[in-house]
Structure formats: C-alpha cells, structure tokens
Amino acid sequence: MTTKALKGLLHAGLLIFCLTPHFLSAQTIEADPSKIWAGNIMEVNISGTNTSFISATSTCGELNFTNVFFSQGSSTIAPLDIIPLSDELLFTVLDVPGNQTTGSYSISLWNDIPGCEVECEDCLTVMPPPELIAVDPDVSNQGVMDLSVVLTTTNNCFSQASSTCVPDISNVIFQSNAIPGTTILPESVNILDDNNVEVIINVPENATIGLYDVFLAASLPCQTSCNDCFEVIPAATIDPVGSGLGTQGESANFTVEVSNASISDCGYTATQIFLQLGDYTIEPSSVTVENQQIILEFDIPEDAPVGDYDLVVGESLGMPCEYLCEGCFTVEEMVNIRDPKFEQNFSYLPNPSSGAFQITAELPVDGAVVEIYNVAGQLIFQQTLAQLTQLDVELATTGVFVVKISARDLVAVQKVIVK
C-alpha cells in the first residue's frame, strides 16, 4: 500500500472516530427511585456514569419520547416529561397506570441509534398499588390514652421512601363515618418496617362512637386507606356487684364487673389490684376472673383507716385491663362487743380511790387499748399495750369516770370513782 493510500485510510478512520460517540469507559445508568407504584405519576431520575446525556446530542440526537424507553417485554411506560439536567443526570416523569404490569423493567436510551445505546436491565420495579390490610387493634373505648395501633400495608416501602412519602402525624388520619369531619389525629407515628407503622393515638372521652376510615400517608405513592376498619365503642366501665363493705379486722368478699371491654387476657395478679385511701392500700388475698367479673377477697387489717376506698385495677397495664372504681368500697370501724367473761378478767383497785388505782388482768390480754372518759364523754387517758397484765393509773381530778378496755372485737367497761 502506498504512503498516500495509508494516509487516506488513517484520515477516514479518524473522521469516523470523531463522528461516532465512542466512550473510553463503559457507560452505566441506574434509576432513583428504583421502585415505582402503579396508579401514580412518578418522578424518576436516571443517573449515569461516563454518560453524555447533553453533549452527545449532536451525534445521537436529543433524548425524547422516541428514544427513551421503560419496558418489560411488550409492556411499556410512557414518559410525560424528559429533561437532561447534565451529562450524568436525566430527569423523567412517568405516568404509571393503575393496571400497569408489575415487576422489573429495563431502561434504554438511544436504542435505535448504533453506537449510542445505553441500557440497564431490570433496574426499575413497578409495584402494585399499596393496600392498607390490617389495623391492630381495630377497636378502642372512648377515653383511652396512648393507644398503640399498628397499621399494616402491602406493597409499600416506608423505610426506604423519600421524605415526601414518609407517614407522619400530618398525614395519618382516623375519620369518623358517623359525623363527617370528625377525626382522631395521632400523637406520634413510628415506622416499623417497609409495610408497618405504629401510630399512637388518644381517643377522647367524648369521641364519636362508631366506625372510622383510616387514611395513611397522604402523599403519593404511599398513600392508602381502608374503610370502616377502626371502631370507637363506649367507654369501659367498672361497677360493684352488690355492696362493697368491709370491717376492720375481718375478711370481706368484693366483686366488680367490667362493661364494654374484654378482660379475659389481662392475667391480673394480687399486686395489680388494690384498695386505696390516700396513701394507704390493701391488697387482695385472692383474685378470680370469671367472664367479665373480678372476684376479690380482702383481709382488712385492724388498723385500716375507715372510709371510702378506691379500687385500682391493673395499674399501668393500659386498656382494656386498667380501671379505677372510685369510692366503691367502704371500710367500717371494728364493732367492739361487751362480753361478761372478758369483763370479769379485770379488776380495778381500789375503787373508790383518791386518784391512784391499778388495773389488773387475771389472764394477760394482747393488743389492749385502755381509755378513760369523764362524765362529759371526754377522753382524758389513753394507752395502747402490746400485752396488758397490770397498769397503774393516776387521775388528778375527782368524779366518776368510765374505763374502757378494748382488744380485737371485745370491750370491757367499768366505772371508777375518785374522791
């Protein structure tokens, strides 16, 4: 070959090289987001490596509806808009019909121009429309605070979604069907995984009773809802069955009944139920749950304050296991009974006296309380003894006095005279 011919070939080769968009390194593209949902208009950014979305237009032509394809076999998605932002970033808007074939899609650019083709296989997934399939629990009483409700969806992507798609307190709504516009809004929303979120709600005491629709993630593409999938029922109540009455130093049975809530799974223990008056509490000696009734037995201490007690049930357990029955159990004062044999156990000598006399018990008496009253009924002396065998008393005034000795439910009364 002559030198002239060789120069001609080299010149032609260089010309072809200059006219053809050859790249020194492999071109790759990927989609962000990599998942889109049927039934939505979605923005998808195509980012490239070693690509020339803008600078290659002189040889490959502008990227447009005729040379940008999203396809799965014969199923395609038509872009609404295509805007090259730089050589390595292409912005697209896709109109994804609700009946779009789901699954993996490939993206191809300039696929009809030899030497210009750029493609990624199975780099975009079309998901079915999200569905809200479960609300747990799906019922609440009026007046329940800090109720944790888990909303379960299918075909969602909460933990990977963009910030515009994340469920939060502004786009999760419980809406009453009975009164339009009546809603319960969450206190907080926590993403558990791609398809589950925990919603904390306060159900007002005057919340509308009936069925509610639940709307989740008002922004596309994650938005979904369910109709009649949550219910508010009347507030749970706890009421005494029969009289709630006990006496100091005695055992007492007490039964209460819960309405509008199930307590079968509460598993109450004796430490989770108690009577309370101020800071004083009495725990039951036994707890039995039968249907909606809680059957309790209490051993009332002798020194228990008398008065109307609240019954606290399931403290800190939350609904449907936590209740307060205000003032529904009364502890009465121990009734002392004068017993001749008990009275004959004591002597009061001398009687009459000049003010000093001695009380003697023939048989020692445990837990005795000695009280002395004047004729006006005023208490002028009182002493509690772990055991009474002998007690010296001295009174400074003259007159007639009543000595009262109490132990458990027995009482002895004796008049003494001071001259």
Per-residue model confidence as pLDDT tens digits over 372-402: 988 777 889 999 999 999 999 999 999 989 8
Pick the CATH number of 237-332 from 2.30.30, 1.10.3470, 3.30.70, 2.60.40: 2.60.40
Does residue 312 carry a pLDDT above 50? yes
Place 165 in a pLDDT band, splitting at 50, 70 and 90.
Answer: low
Q: Does domain 131-233 have CATH number 3.90.209.20?
A: no
Does residue 87 carry a pLDDT above 80? yes
Task: Name the CATH architecture for the domain at 25-127.
Answer: Sandwich (2.60)
Per-residue pLDDT tens for 204-250?
999 999 999 999 875 666 788 999 999 999 988 899 988 889 888 88
Q: What is the structure's pLDDT at 188?
A: 95
Between 51 and 26, name the one with better pLDDT: 51
Place 180 in a pLDDT band, splitting at 50, 70 and 90.
Answer: confident
Is residue 50 packed enough to be buried (19+ CB in 10 Å), middle (13-18) or exposed (0-12)? middle
The overall average pLDDT reported for the chain is 87
Answer yes or no: are the C-beta atoms of 53 and 142 closer than 8 Å. no
Between 363 and 112, name the one with better pLDDT: 363
Q: Under DSSP, is residue 332 helix (H, G, I), strand (E, B) or coil?
A: strand
- For the ranges 166-175, 179-188, 407-416, the maximum mean pLDDT occurs at 179-188
Q: What is the structure's pLDDT at 9?
A: 44
Place 160 in a pLDDT band, splitting at 50, 70 and 90.
Answer: low
What is the helix (H) or strand (E) element at residue 370, kind and residue range?
strand 356-373
Instruction: Please state which of the ranges 109-118, 170-179, 269-278 shows the lowest mean pLDDT.
Output: 109-118
Place 105 in a pLDDT band, splitting at 50, 70 and 90.
Answer: very high
Nearest to 77 by CA among 65, 88, 61: 65
Which residues are CB-neighbours of 408 under 8 A, at least 6 positions away?
Answer: 249, 302, 334, 367
Place 317 in a pLDDT band, splitting at 50, 70 and 90.
Answer: confident
Between 41 and 219, name the one with better pLDDT: 41
pTM metric for this prediction: 0.58
Percent of residues, the chain, with pLDDT higher than 90: 55
Question: What does the pLDDT average to over 6-11?
Answer: 44
Q: What is the structure's pLDDT at 251?
A: 86
Q: What is the structure's pLDDT at 69?
A: 93
Q: What is the structure's pLDDT at 39?
A: 84
Place 181 in a pLDDT band, splitting at 50, 70 and 90.
Answer: confident
Q: What is the structure's pLDDT at 411?
A: 86
Secondary structure letter of residue 27 according to DSSP: -
Q: Structure tokens of 153?
A: 């969806």
Query: Distance (Å, rounded) from C-alpha 119 to C-alpha 103?
Result: 17
Answer yes or no: are the C-beta atoms of 338 and 294 closer than 8 Å. no
Place 23 in a pLDDT band, splitting at 50, 70 and 90.
Answer: very low
Q: Under DSSP, is residue 384 helix (H, G, I), strand (E, B) or coil?
A: strand
Does residue 319 carry a pLDDT above 80? no
CATH topology of domain 337-418: Immunoglobulin-like (2.60.40)
Q: What is the structure's pLDDT at 230?
A: 96
Question: What does the pLDDT average to over 345-368?
Answer: 93
Q: Structure tokens of 196?
A: 């589950």
Each domain of the chain, given as residue ranges in start order, spans 25-127, 131-233, 237-332, 337-418
- What are the strands, taking DSSP E only, across 28-182? 28-32, 35-37, 40-49, 68-72, 75-77, 79-86, 89-96, 103-109, 118-127, 131-136, 139-141, 147-154, 172-176
Other beta carbons less than 10 A from residue 165's beta carbon: 20
Between 134 and 158, name the one with better pLDDT: 134
Looking only at the bridges linking them, the beta strands covering 40-49 and 89-96 are antiparallel
In the block, residue with structure tokens 């237009």: 57
Same fold across 131-233 and 237-332: yes
